[in-house]
Structure 1
Amino acid sequence: MEDWRRIDIDAYDPESGRLTADDLKPPYSHTVSLQELQPTIQQLRSYTSSGDFAAAVELFTTDPPYNADEQAKSQYFSGILEVLTQVRQVDIANIVKRLDRKQQDALIKYLYKGMSIPEGQKHGGILLAWFEKLTQVAGVNPIVHYLSDRRTV
């Protein structure tokens, strides 16, 4: 008799649908180009120069370009980093409180991305302040969503 602990019982179940690599890819309609993101980047810079940081944060967290190419994501993130680093630390909590759950999830993705690249690491203190205020307001939920979501910013 075979060792019953090593039998793959799912192989005998016809209802067991095995996932393929294509099943795990998120469904994207089309890839967003840098030209399509330019108006949003200009709007972010406009909000930053006028000092309306809350509107800028709401703008970039509302509809993140998950399906953009890496160059477009890099340019978009440089505009976001510009916004995040210019906000005063006393205003961060008020801005984070205005965000809904999906926007908080997008913000944590940008914070992790900022902490993982050299130009964001130069501003690590301010990104950690954002991270602290976000976890105070939303708890660990955005972190769990970041770890389980396959979409990247």
Structure 2
Amino acid sequence: MSDWRRIDIDAFDPESGRLTSKDIEPPYPSQVTLQELSTKISQLRSLASSGDAKSAVALAVSDPPYSGDESTKNEYFKVVLETLSNVRQADISGIVSGLTPIQQDVLVKYLYKGMSIPEGQKQGGILLAWFERVTQVAGVRPVSHFINDRNTV
């Protein structure tokens, strides 16, 4: 016992359960498919085309498909990007103010995803405008939640 700093004290505690990767997975029931999202996607497109940008953005960032596969998430992201692109610059602050903190967190996740893929980089100015308004309204809280959250959009 000359090197007491290397003792694993958790090994001596019978109630100390080690966490596995299964323990830290988010509790989402099953894999979401694109067919299940088709009604939400059609709702998003109809709201965006009718000019109801506030409802369209609120719907887009509520209940995102965290448990979908990458192709499903990418298809849904394209619709979210269309929705965000159709909003006038003057309306962005009002829309962001009307979102709940959880919806603002999801919006930042979509903004970061957009900035990281080529489809979103083409709309970089729009995404940066949204990002600026979110940080003006909510501060850095959504950014820190994005960094620490395991759920990806």
Q: TM-score range by the shorter chain?
A: over 0.9
1:33-63 deviation line (CA, Å, top 9, x unaligned): 1111111111111111112111110101111
Question: Which amino acid is the alignment partner of residue 20 of structure 2?
Answer: T
| Uncovered stretches (5+) of structure 2, i.e. residues with no partner | none
Q: Which runs of 4+ in 1 moved over 6 A?
A: none
| Uncovered stretches (5+) of structure 1, i.e. residues with no partner | none
* 1:108-147 correspondence to structure 2 within 5 Å: 108-147=108-147
Question: Which amino acid is the alignment partner of residue 95 of structure 2?
Answer: I
**1:12 Cα offset (Å):** 1.9
**1:11 Cα offset (Å):** 2.0
* Distance (whole Å) between structure 2 residues aligned to residue 13 and residue 108 of structure 1: 41
Which residue matches 2:3?
3
* Distance (whole Å) between structure 2 residues aligned to residue 27 and residue 41 of structure 1: 24
* Distance (whole Å) between structure 2 residues aligned to residue 112 and residue 14 of structure 1: 43
% same residue: 64
* 1:3-152 correspondence to structure 2 within 5 Å: 3-152=3-152
1:6-40 deviation line (CA, Å, top 9, x unaligned): 22222222222210111111122111111111111
RMSD: 1.1
Name the SS of the counterpart of 2:61 in structure 1: helix
**1:2 Cα offset (Å):** 2.4
Name the SS of the counterpart of 2:17 in structure 1: coil
